[in-house]
Amino acid sequence: MFTKAYIPFRGYYSTPFSRWQGSYANQNSIVLGAETSKRWLAGKNWDPKMFDYLFLGITIGQPKWFYGSPWAAALMGAPDIPGMTISQACTTSATCVCQAAIGVETGLYENPFCLMTDRCSNGPHTIWPNPTGPGGEVVFENWLMDNFGSDPWAKFSMIQTAENVAKEAGLTREQADEVTFRRYEQYMAALDGDREFQKRYMFPVEVSVSKKKTIVVDADEGIMPTTREGLAGLKPVLPEGVHTFGSQTHPADGNCGIVVSSKEKAAELSADPSVEIRVVSYGFSRAKKGFMAMAVVPAAKMALERAGIGIGDVKTVKTHNPFVANDLYMAAQLGMDVMGFNNYGCSLIFGHPQAPTAGRLIIEGIEETVKLGGGYFLWAGCAAGDTGAALVIKVGK
């Protein structure tokens, strides 16, 4: 449990998420993330040199990513600070925030910055020497597709792990479609009032497409118009499965940033010093082999237990739900109304750029909790290798 780690109110941003092979497809995600953070900081009149450490969350290799965090820090305008690069698949953002909170809690850092960025588009193709191979053949992989398609330990594709959970838990296609449509409705609510909710935290991206042309991306790309009839008409991805292409997420690109600091520094940086946002606890887990969607539950239980609260004490819940089975299983196990959480959006609908996905959800959860007058907020999600993570954050005045 943390007692000293705080997030300044509005000390965070997320870019819009771009669809796969969309507006960010040809940008180095480290450069784009650092340049976007620099612009965001300038808009707040914050000097990047105020940070004492940078956590760079990234899971998909980019040119020069060996230099990762110190390179990103220099591009942001903080060339004198060190940092580390963290890669934990879909829970990368939560782990970055946790590590920053540990540092603040122990006095190692006062004001670290977490920058999470990824580009699923145009993923790298990795090649290794194979001296014993016939004719000097190489060992190679398509980083994105091959790893999404097969866990080297469990031997399942990610969607198969979701179907394993759906079958064991007795989930139906009708349930999957109904919850998927509800998640679409919740996302659409974030667009009400000229996108009032999203504009609380979303920061536009400037993309240089040529020496003479720069475009601005200020809204999500890749949101698929959804109806109950449309979902019902889709075929399952796997034979006899409950998931269609409508009830699973889609790869995307984007970045986000979160400041974690001491109570005093957070109050100094906060858009409203009366709003306190404290990182309370972190949970982690690993489900049985080939049942990734189950990992969310023990991680959430650990975070809640460490916070000293129960699910009934939580005001807001957001999940990383690459498959709708995640939410159906979690709701059943924790005694929650599956239709009552993930307000204003989730990765099932707006896409999954890997490292920044959880960060955007955490930011949205904070903003929703502020709108509701404060309380406890739970974020939970699964990640590759049948693992899971969760964070409890308290918002108060």
* Tens-digit pLDDT profile for residues 171-226: 999 999 999 999 999 999 999 999 999 999 999 999 998 889 999 999 999 999 99
Confidence check: pLDDT of 74 > 90: yes
Interval 36-59: pLDDT, tens: 999 999 999 999 999 999 999 999
d(CA 301, CA 120): 31
**Tokens 């108060």, residue located:** 396
DSSP character at residue 248? B
Residue 226: the pLDDT is 98
* Enclosing H/E stretch for 56: strand 54-57
Provide the mean pLDDT of the chain.
97
pLDDT single digits (tens) 146-167: 998 999 999 999 999 999 999 9
Which amino acid makes up residue 128?
A: W
Name the band, by pLDDT with cuts 50, 70 and 90, for residue 131: confident
DSSP-derived 3-state class of residue 200: helix
Specify the pLDDT at position 144: 87
* Angle between helix 355-371 and helix 92-106 axes, rounded to 10 deg: 70
Which stretches of the chain are DSSP H helices? 29-43, 68-76, 92-106, 143-149, 158-169, 173-189, 192-195, 228-232, 263-269, 296-307, 324-334, 347-350, 355-371
Q: Which amino acid is at 286?
A: R
Q: How far is CA 169 from the centre of its chain?
A: 26
Predicted local distance difference test score (pLDDT) of residue 362: 99
What is the pTM assigned to this prediction?
0.98
161 vs 134, residue with greater confidence: 161
